[in-house]
Structures are given as structure tokens and as C-alpha cells.
Amino acid sequence: MSEAQDERTEQDRRAGVLMTAAVFVVSIFLFLGKVAGYVKEAMLSDYWGLSGGLDAFKVVYNSIVFLVYSKAEKLLRPTYLPIFVRHRDKDREDEAWRFFSITASLSFLALLAIAGLCTAFAPGIIRLGWPRMEPASANLAASLLRISAGAMLLLVMSVMAELTLHAYKRFTAPALADAVMRCALPVAIFGLVSAWGMTPADGSTGVSPQALRAAAIGLLIGSALRLLVQLPALWRRLKLCRPSLDVRNPDVVRMVKLMPPIIVGLVFSSARTFFDSRFSVDAGEGVYTALDFARKISDAPILILPLAVSLVVYPFVSEWASRENREMFARSLVAMTRVMAFVFVPMAAGLIVLALPSIQLLYLGDGAFTVEDSFVVRRALIPYAAGIPFFAVEGSINKWYFALGDTATPNYVGAVAAMLHIAIAWFGVHVLRRNVGVIALALTASKGLKVIVLYAMLRRRLEGIRGREVLVFVLRLAVATCVMVVALVVTSNALAGMIVDAGRPQRAIFLALCSGAGAVTYLAAAAALRIEEVGQVTGFVREKLARRLGRGQADAD
């Protein structure tokens, strides 16, 4: 066996440790980014409230700049990264960077053209997309679009840097860059608004809508920082970059051939989002808001750990696919699924049991949100919560297909699932005359079916997935979760008096006590049932403590 093969075997053996460490680091920065995002939203609402000016900024921020950025990222990640990894893993560094150079050059020119069009035709774009926007708000939106159009170019180029670093299994710099960008937004908004624009020209109270230009400038600054923070980590290798427009390069041709199914998937996922809003409005006043409130609660657990896992595992499985290492490929899929199930199945069950107090903790106060409203939101939250385990693994399982060079299967299955979602929601709203719950159920049912089908199809292509072991794990997990649910119900009934006419502090204490009792019971039941993940967690903690104690003893000696 050659030295290079020995090194790769050792890397495969340590892959679990490396992925765990990377997931931990990425999760920390994702959490910081989420906190900064909440601060930004609070700042925008405090300054401008539910105003037409803030609507203008949201349109530019969400529906133009970040829409272009997110769609570009979803096109590039499954098509660019596996090809780059394949060259790098076979020590063809020059070919990998030739591919990078062409892809980056084409992406730069495409986004330069888009940014130029948005700058030149900003008023027409706003009028075409949002014809019912008030004239003053439309003019402001056009101004904001001109300021922040360059952010699209910067963000997509930062995606090229991020994907390339991921190909080298370097995750800290991209995660840090994203957190810096999200932190820069509220800092820039506060700093620029404090410097100018605090007092409206007409002398009224509050902050002038024109000061929203500070937010657009903050978006531009944050986007630049997202790119610049990553460049030092690539600096030594950037000397291999040679701008090129060689569209006949075989790797570029291969990448382009992978794109049509992804485009189909993006179109159908966008259609699902549109019809959800359309059917919600058709169902009645407040339905869309209730769904949005419930989705924010159910999404909170899956926006950090599952996202971190999906980002980290992708370069590893792409590398194993390029080597045709089917054993590691299958083993990593089983390990990822078991961890996600171990964490998110009990979390989903707990949220179903504690749905009402969770809603009332977050939304019920002295404002317009009433106790009756919390029951409406619960009808959406329960079906959404039931889908949390499926939502948690969906992003990761797609990466196994992408690593195999198969962008068609997950996207076409996803398109069918999106059509199923639309059909269920339409039938529930317009035939059964139901509203909140059926639209939420449509998402869980369609996503759940998609994940099950993708797993079944992938299992046929892999070896080493033992059905009996999977079934035993599922049964043990179900028993441990049922024991936890019983403990939650008993605890919540015993403490129910705490939240009668209670404020937020009492509701928070109630949820903490119930959640703590449920977590302890679940872990104890899982340990008694010999679920391996419990032993892995306790072994990891024991190892860390032993190292710390050993280091402390060495320092004392």
C-alpha cells in the first residue's frame, strides 16, 4: 500500500472525529449568525415598525438580493463541489483550479450583468414585481436596490470561496465569514442610522424611511466582508487561479449537464411557497400569519445542527464517492441518520406535547395576540412538529446523491413531492374547507414521503446497510420516545397550575422543568435500551474530562 493510500485510510478512520469537530464549530457560528439575525429584525421593527419603507427594504433584501444569492448557491453546491473534490482527491490540483477559474469567471460575469441590470432598471423591476406598492415605497425600494445590487455579486463570489474551502475540508473560515456578515448588518444599521437619518425631514417621530439606505449599505458591507474573511484561507492557492471563459472545458460541460434537474427542483419549490401563501389567504384572515408563527417555532431546532451537518458531510461523501469507497459511503449515511433521529424524534414528540405553552411563551403578551390565537397556531404547529425529523435529514440525504453525480433523482422526487403538497393543500382548503392544519400537514406529508423514497432508492445503490440493525434501532428509539412522552405528560399535568394566568417568566420556568424531566427520562430510557448514541455522547464527555484532568495534573506536576 502506498504512502498516499495509507494517509487516506487514516483520514477515513478519523473522519467521524473530524466531522464532529467541524459540525461543532459550524454550529457555533450558525448560532451567532441567528442571534445577529434576530437583533437585526428587532432593530428594523423598532426603527420603522410595520411601515411601507420597511416593506421596501424587505422586498429588496429577501426577494431580490438573497433570492439570487440562495438560488446561485443551490445551483453551484451540487454541481461544482463534487467535480473539484474529485480532481483534488486524485492529486490533480491544476485541473481543479482550472475548473475553479472558469466557474468563477462565468459566475462573475453573470452576476455583474444581473447587478448592472438591477442598477439601471431598478424602478421598472420594482413596478413589474410589486405593482401594488405605494409610489413612495416603490421609489425607496428602487433606491435601495441600486445601493445593494453589488451585494449579489459579492455574495455569489463568496459562495465560490466557501465551496472551495469546503472541498479542502476547511469549515471555520466560511462559517466565520457568514457570522461576520450577519453581525455586520445590525452594526452597520445602528452606526449609520446614528450618524445620519435619525430625524425625519417632516419633523415627525421615529426614523426616516430614507435612513433605510443605511440598511442597504450595511448589506453591501456585510456581503463584502463575507468574501474578504475567506480570502486569507485560500491565499496560497489563489496563485493557481487564471481567469478563463473556456466554456468547452469538459468539467464545465459536465457541471452544466447537472443543472437542469436542479432548476426544475427550484421552480417547484418556489411554486410550493407561492401556493402556500395563496391558499392561506384564500382560507381566511390570519391563516398565513398563524402558519408563519408555527413554522418559525418548528424550524428553530433544525436551522443549526442539521444545516451544519449537511455542509460538513458533503465534501467527505464526495471524496468517498470519487474513490468508490462504498463502505464509508454507506456507513456515514447510517450514522448521520441515526444521530438526526436520536436528537430530533424526541424533540418533535416533546414539541407536540408542549405546543401550546411554547406558543404562548413566544407570542402571548399584552399585545394583540390572544389566547384564542394560540390555539389556532397550535393547529399548525403540531403537524409541522411531526415533520421535524424529516426536515432535519432532507438536506443531508440530498448530498449523498449529489456526491454520486446524481442531481436528477432528489430534484425530480422533490418536484413530485411539491406537487403532492400543493394538491393536499388545495384539497384541504377548497374541498374540505379546512385551513391552518391541512396546509401544515401538506408540508410534513410531502417532505416525509420524499425522504422515505430517497432513502429506499439510495439503499438499493449501496452495500452495508443492514435492515435488521436499522429496525432494532427504530424500535428502541420508539420505546424511549414513548417513555419520554409519558414523563412529559405527567410532569406538565402536575405543574399545570404554574401557567394559569401566568406571565412569560412562569411559562419559561414551566417549559424548562418539563423539558428537563423529558430529557432526563429519554436519556435514561435510551441508555437502558442500549442505544449506541448515548454511549457515544457519554464516551466523548468522559474523554474530554480525562484530557482536561490529565492536562491539569501535568501542569500541577
End-to-end CA gap in the chain: 43
Give the pLDDT band of residue 210 (cuts 50, 70, 90).
low
Q: What H or E segment, with its residue span, contains residue 5?
A: helix 3-13
- Residue 236 corresponds to which amino acid? R
| The three cell numbers locating residue 520 | 432526563
Can you tell me the distance from the alpha carbon of 454 to that of 416, in angstroms, rounded to the nearest whole number? 12
pLDDT at res. 160: 94
pLDDT at 541 over 70: no
Query: Once rounded to an integer, what is the mean pLDDT over residues 8-22?
Result: 58
Is the distance from CB of 81 to CB of 163 less than 8 angstroms?
yes
Query: Once rounded to an integer, what is the mean pLDDT over residues 379-397?
Result: 88
For cell 418539563, name the residue: 514
Query: Once rounded to an integer, what is the mean pLDDT over residues 264-286?
Result: 77
Query: Once rounded to an integer, what is the mean pLDDT over residues 514-525?
Result: 91
CA angle 414, 342, 487 (to 5 degrees): 120
Helix axis angle, 3-13 to 15-48, nearest 10°: 60
89: nearest Cα among 308, 290, 392, 315: 315
Ranges 67-71, 256-260, 291-295, 542-546: which has the least confidence:
542-546
Backbone angles phi, psi at 245, to 5 degrees: -120, 35
| pLDDT one-digit tens code per residue, 218-260 | 889 999 999 999 999 988 888 888 888 888 899 999 999 888 9
pLDDT at 462 over 90: no
The DSSP secondary structure of 395-443, one letter per residue, reads: HHHHHHHHHTT--HHHHHHHHHHHHHHHHHHHIIIIIS---HHHHHHHH
pTM over 0.85: no
Ranges 28-42, 61-75, 85-99: which has the least confidence:
28-42
Give the pLDDT band of residue 478 (cuts 50, 70, 90).
very high
pLDDT at res. 64: 80
pLDDT at res. 204: 42
pLDDT at 60 over 60: yes
Higher pLDDT, 12 or 377: 377
The number of helices, as runs of H, and strands, as runs of E, in the chain is: 22, 0
Cite the beta strand spans of 132-262 per DSSP E: none
| The three cell numbers locating residue 528 | 437502558
SS3 434: coil
pLDDT at res. 20: 64
Is the distance from CB of 138 to CB of 56 less than 8 angstroms?
yes
User: What is the pLDDT of the chain when averaged over all its residues?
Assistant: 80
Give the pLDDT band of residue 444 (cuts 50, 70, 90).
very high
pLDDT at res. 552: 53
Can you tell me the distance from the alpha carbon of 60 to that of 54, in angstroms, rounded to the nearest whole number? 10
> Which CA distances in Å does 345 have to 30, 351, 383, 393?
22, 10, 13, 11
For cell 463584502, name the residue: 224
Which of 177-181, 314-318, 326-330, 356-360 holds the top average pLDDT? Answer: 177-181
Rg (CA), the chain: 25
Query: Once rounded to an integer, what is the mean pLDDT over residues 57-84?
Result: 83
Q: What H or E segment, with its residue span, contains residue 325?
A: none
Is the distance from CB of 162 to CB of 207 less than 8 angstroms?
no
| The three cell numbers locating residue 481 | 420516545
How many residues are given for the chain?
557
Q: With pLDDT > 90 as the criterion, what percentage of the chain qualifies?
A: 24
Query: Once rounded to an integer, what is the mean pLDDT over residues 504-515?
Result: 86
Can you tell me the distance from the alpha carbon of 372 to that of 374, in angstroms, rounded to the nearest whole number? 5
pLDDT at res. 550: 58
Over the range 48-61, which residues count as b (16 or more CB within 10 Å of their CB) and which as e?
Answer: beebbbbbbbebbb
Query: Once rounded to an integer, what is the mean pLDDT over residues 75-84?
Result: 87
| pLDDT one-digit tens code per residue, 307-343 | 777 777 777 777 777 777 777 777 778 878 888 888 8
Q: DSSP secondary-structure letter at 130?
A: -
pLDDT at res. 4: 47
Which of 79-93, 158-172, 276-290 holds the top average pLDDT? Answer: 158-172
pLDDT at 202 over 50: no
Ranges 294-303, 335-344, 386-395: which has the least confidence:
294-303
pLDDT at res. 3: 47
Can you tell me the distance from the alpha carbon of 298 to that of 388, in angstroms, rounded to the nearest whole number? 7
pLDDT at 394 over 50: yes
Query: Once rounded to an integer, what is the mean pLDDT over residues 415-434?
Result: 88
The DSSP secondary structure of 436-469, one letter per residue, reads: HHHHHHHHHHHHHHHHHHHHHHHHHH-S---HHH
pLDDT at 449 over 90: yes
Which of 249-263, 497-511, 534-548 holds the top average pLDDT? Answer: 249-263
Q: Give start and end residues of each alpha helix (H) in 196-286.
A: 212-228, 231-234, 250-283
Helix axis angle, 52-60 to 135-167, nearest 10°: 30
Query: Once rounded to an integer, what is the mean pLDDT over residues 406-423?
Result: 91
219: nearest Cα among 382, 37, 469, 346: 37
Backbone angles phi, psi at 286, to 5 degrees: 85, -10
**What is the CB neighbour count within 10 angstroms for residue 236?**
8
Higher pLDDT, 271 or 517: 517
Can you tell me the distance from the alpha carbon of 134 to that of 403, in angstroms, rounded to the nearest whole number? 47
Query: Once rounded to an integer, what is the mean pLDDT over residues 384-413?
Result: 87
For cell 401594488, name the residue: 132
